Amino acid sequence: MSTKVTLSPSMESREQAEQAAVSWIARRETGPWSEQDEVAFERWLSGSMSRQVAYYRFKRTWGEVGRLGALGSDALPEQRLSDTFDEPDTSQASLPVHGSRVPRYALVASVLLAVVFALFLFRNEIFGLNSYSTEVGGLTAVPMADGSRVILNTNSRVRIVVDKHARRIDLQRGEAFFEVAKDPSRPFVVTAGEKQIVAVGTQFSVRREGENIRVAVTEGAVRLMASPQAVAGEQAPGVLLSPGAVARAERTGVRVQEQSIAEIEQQLTWRTGILTFRNTPLMEAVAEFNRYNERQIFIEDPGIAAIEVGGVFRSTDLDPFVRLIEDGLSLKVSRSGDRTVLSAR
């Protein structure tokens, strides 16, 4: 018999795996959910195939149950929860009410009303309001309730609001990569200053520097809406960006450039803490490093700014990069405290 299936830790039963799966699914969606939870969850899931089966199956059911909400939020809670109280209430038996049913109905009605009212009140509380930020050199992944994921680059800040109608992310500063779970009923809207990027199911990054933004799309399609004032009086139609598109939106307008996915992916290696340069002007490479480190590099000599450099580096580890410049390009490097100055020899 094939019993190689029991890779599962400590001979966990199928039912135990199933119970845990439901709890994970629900918690992941309604929170609270931290990065540690995500790690613990991934570890749990990869623990056995049985867990994966349970997780996938119930995730599907869970998704289907969500459709009940489509029956209308008015009709359901009252109606479906109304027979909540149809079970005999034993506490009533001890009360000397002489079979008079009126008090009992009154009680039921008032309790019911309270429940409905509470549900109604609570409805607003589910619209979670969350801010996430990273320090210089930081990198973090934020799982969202809808299954989407936001990867925050160095020195960045987002605010995430998910409700039943939309998923809104406000990129307040820095850069983020978005892996958007498909959900046509809830558009995924990233706001950066006055600009908006709208997606349904896709992967893209947005980098913000003041009011200038740069959007790179690796999968699916997004719509970039420049500032509403750009087109006087009427709604700006926006620019549709497909995979390979890199758009820069500045005050003067939007410029779209086509790149290969490989090139874009290369620019997105920051998601794993890596910076990749290929024929990159020294000035640009230095500017990149400066985003990730308190220790700043300065180019003293304009003559060396255009020298092209290449390589793969840890974004928060300056030394290998500086050493490469020092040895490989024979430039002069002087260090003092948090300042590293590059100049020609």
Partner 1 sequence: MDKALEAWFIQEILPYEAALTRYLAQKRSRAHDVEDLRNDIYIRVLESASAVRPTVPRAFLFATARNLLIDRTRHDRVVKIDQLEGLAVTNVLVDDISTEQQASGRQQLQRLAHLFDRLPRRCREVLWMRKIEGLPQKAVAVRLGLAEATVEKHLYRAVKTLSEALNGNAIRTDRVNHEHESDIEPQHGK
Q: Which residues bind partner 1 (CB under 8 A)?
A: 1-2, 5, 14, 18-19, 22-23, 25-27, 29-32, 42, 45-46, 49-50, 52-54, 56-62, 64-71, 73, 76-77, 80-81, 83-84, 86-87, 118-119, 122-123, 125-126, 145
Closest distance between partner 1 and the C-beta of residue 179, in Å? 9
201/180 Cα distance (integer angstroms): 5
Pick 57 or 278: Cβ nearer partner 1: 57
Closest distance between partner 1 and the C-beta of residue 148, in Å? 12
58/250 Cα distance (integer angstroms): 46
Closest distance between partner 1 and the C-beta of residue 189, in Å? 19
Contact status, residue 67 vs residue 105, Cβ threshold 8 Å: no
146/66 Cα distance (integer angstroms): 12
Pick 219 or 250: Cβ nearer partner 1: 219
Closest distance between partner 1 and the C-beta of residue 225, in Å? 28
H-only helix segments in the chain: 14-30, 35-46, 49-65, 75-82, 90-93, 101-123, 261-267, 282-292, 318-328
Contact status, residue 340 vs residue 297, Cβ threshold 8 Å: yes
Pick 8 or 343: Cβ nearer partner 1: 8
CA atoms within 13 A on the CB side of 236: 19
Closest distance between partner 1 and the C-beta of residue 203, in Å? 11
Pick 17 or 213: Cβ nearer partner 1: 17
CA distances 259 to 214, 223, 320, Å, are 13, 17, 29
262 C-beta neighbours (distance < 10 Å), count: 8
Pick 23 or 257: Cβ nearer partner 1: 23
Pick 79 or 334: Cβ nearer partner 1: 79
Report residue 231 as tokens. Answer: 């087109």
Closest distance between partner 1 and the C-beta of residue 134, in Å? 22
